[in-house]
Structure 1
């Protein structure tokens, strides 16, 4: 193990002496967390919602039918229990709930006024605002239809409630996404380039013929980037708390543990790329294009995955950033524990194990 730590120390010295590497490692996260402080507006289709109908009358059924007929929503089961509805929000299986009171039709007929509660998951503020606007529009259309044949105009008032982010700030959506993007790029690209650099300069041949096991040589070059990436995580979280005013609702320890797992996943991807490529230019191109685009497109933090065609939704499941994005939002925004994110954690563990085994099988002691 003394030799292993010697190689780790040597790689740390190499990283700290390279100013360009330090700029990428620490400058890029700071810049992106400031740039992505506000959200983008996205079109919404097929959003998963539930309807809690305590009225079960003609008026509520007609509004539900109009909601179901639109292309914006995908109705789930009728959740009558409030605890089940809140759990569905915490798990992320629904984005919006429409609650009809017990006397909805009677209030509308006799008092010419009724209320509907609309509850949205505002951890993605633009998505929540768009959904509530769509529902409000459908309710207004029904209200206009009733008022055409009524002596007095009917008035239906939607009561909007935004969960997790009542002020509709952009930071709760983009901080988890920036964490996934920065850690993916830094861990994968830096690891891939560091190992390929040894191939280009010819020092890898010297390392492979040394008494030290070749696998430990590769792992020792990845260890410094693990600690540097954890520093990035700390800097992003501190900036989100003190600059963007976004407190961590869940466990800090769990957040850093899950971040460590995701960093290890990215490091195994970087090792795999370094084994398959021969030049730094190719390694950088594969790391940037092969990692950045899927992270931006399929993680869910810029474009809702529910809006995509089914084949693209299936492809998104193999993108590690998607699962880490869900984990960070669940911990930071919703305050959830390990019991609610163990499935996503298991997926990241599986991806890590897969690429580690494939990398070991593909690693060649003799350079070509």
Structure 2
């Protein structure tokens, strides 16, 4: 009985320790809840509110009725109504739409005389899974429309979807994975290494010596960051080299611009790592925050694997604070679409803003420690 009482006492003590430790409670209950919500809402292959554009050169009853049927399906959102074929490339390069539907000039005449007409479906296949799904959904709606019309006419006709996959006609999955892997590797390596390095100095007590030195906090941060900027940039060069020459992923845009944007993203990731280090006291916590706090959002909410448009609205909003989302747009734009700074300036400014924000917070925390 005595041993049983002691066992009960120890068990009770452990429960008390666990419930008093807020970090342990977050790991035990917070992380599973966050993970199930993220995976449950974000991981889906269903198409919802996909942004498309329509170029209606026919402007006849058939094209208008079919357009209404496509838009009323609930799968698509009409982002733009185009007036000229040259606008197709523009909306794709700006990343405004995932698909363009083109109705030809003589749609009504061909259906009347030849009982057959071609409707062009052009998809952005830089994400081959999304491109294929969009084509399948649209083709299915066109077939359904055709069957409905043929039941009420004495002269049945045929609407033929002509599929065109832009930027990845062979639907190679590596075209999607290489830009995403560049982003994940640079984010995790840069942020994780800087956070662990600075936290290690705090554990050893050398950081207090640095903070007590005549050097300003900003100079201390710069001294810590420069080696990792160089090493991470070498890492980016290696990934781009392997993607280009081993996997055959093209670089259609400016290589100089791509390297410059990679350097900007490295600075963003490093500044985030420094900020994490100012908020953690041990290497173990810094490693856990870097891995668990960055890996899941980067993989799920960046648009790397799962289309952001398919996610609930609150996750779409949340994705805007994930720096990786904006860098993936930049990398795909330069490598696959040949986009330049005139189309990617907004994403570049957002990354620059993230970098400045994290650096300012880090300097403030260092100054607080000095005070």
Determine which of 105, 110, 113 is the counterpart of 2:108.
Answer: 105
Contact 1:185–1:291 under 8 Å retained in 2: yes
Partner of 1:218: 221
Partner of 1:31: none
Partner of 1:90: 93
Moved more, 271-280 or 70-79: 70-79
CA shift in 2, pair 1:137/1:366, >3 Å? closer
Task: State TM-score, norm by structure 1.
Answer: 0.86
CA shift in 2, pair 1:196/1:105, >3 Å? same
Give the drift of 1:366. Answer: 4.7
Partner of 1:288: 291
Partner of 1:227: 230
CA shift in 2, pair 1:214/1:65, >3 Å? closer
* Distance (Å, rounded) in 1 between the aligned partners of 2:369 and 2:360: 19
Partner of 1:308: 311
Contact 1:298–1:305 under 8 Å retained in 2: yes
Give the drift of 1:365. Answer: 6.9
Unaligned runs of 5+ in 1: 1-39
Partner of 2:6: none
Partner of 1:48: 51
CA shift in 2, pair 1:214/1:106, >3 Å? closer
* CA-to-aligned-CA distance 1:138-172 (integer Å, 9 cap, x gap): 11111111222344542111111111111111122
Q: Does 1:169 align with 2:172?
A: yes
Contact 1:193–1:280 under 8 Å retained in 2: yes
Contact 1:196–1:280 under 8 Å retained in 2: yes
Give the drift of 1:187. Answer: 0.6
Q: Does 1:193 align with 2:196?
A: yes
* Distance (Å, rounded) in 2 between the aligned partners of 1:149 and 1:266: 61
Which one has a bigger Cα radius of gyration? 2
Contact 1:208–1:365 under 8 Å retained in 2: no
Determine which of 345, 353, 370 is the counterpart of 1:350.
Answer: 353
* Distance (Å, rounded) in 2 between the aligned partners of 1:330 and 1:69: 30
* CA-to-aligned-CA distance 1:252-288 (integer Å, 9 cap, x gap): 1111100001100111111111111100111111111
Which runs of structure 2 are paired with 1:24-63 in the superposition (5 Å)? Answer: 42-63=45-66
Q: Does 1:77 align with 2:66?
A: no
Which runs of structure 2 are paired with 1:115-134 in the superposition (5 Å)? Answer: 115-134=118-137
The alignment partner of 2:92 has SS state of helix
Partner of 2:210: 207
The alignment partner of 1:49 has SS state of strand
RMSD between superposed Cα atoms in Å: 1.7
* CA-to-aligned-CA distance 1:223-273 (integer Å, 9 cap, x gap): 111111111111111111111111211111111100001100111111111
Superposed structure 1 runs of 4+ greater than 6 Å apart: none
Task: State TM-score, norm by structure 2.
Answer: 0.85
* Distance (Å, rounded) in 2 between the aligned partners of 1:360 and 1:126: 43
Give the drift of 1:359. Answer: 1.1
Give the drift of 1:137. Answer: 0.4
Partner of 1:155: 158
Q: How many residues align?
A: 329
* Distance (Å, rounded) in 2 between the aligned partners of 1:85 and 1:207: 56
* Distance (Å, rounded) in 2 between the aligned partners of 1:205 and 1:47: 52
Contact 1:41–1:127 under 8 Å retained in 2: no
Give the drift of 1:311. Answer: 1.6
* Distance (Å, rounded) in 1 between the aligned partners of 2:241 and 2:46: 32
* CA-to-aligned-CA distance 1:26-54 (integer Å, 9 cap, x gap): xxxxxxxxxxxxxx983221111111111
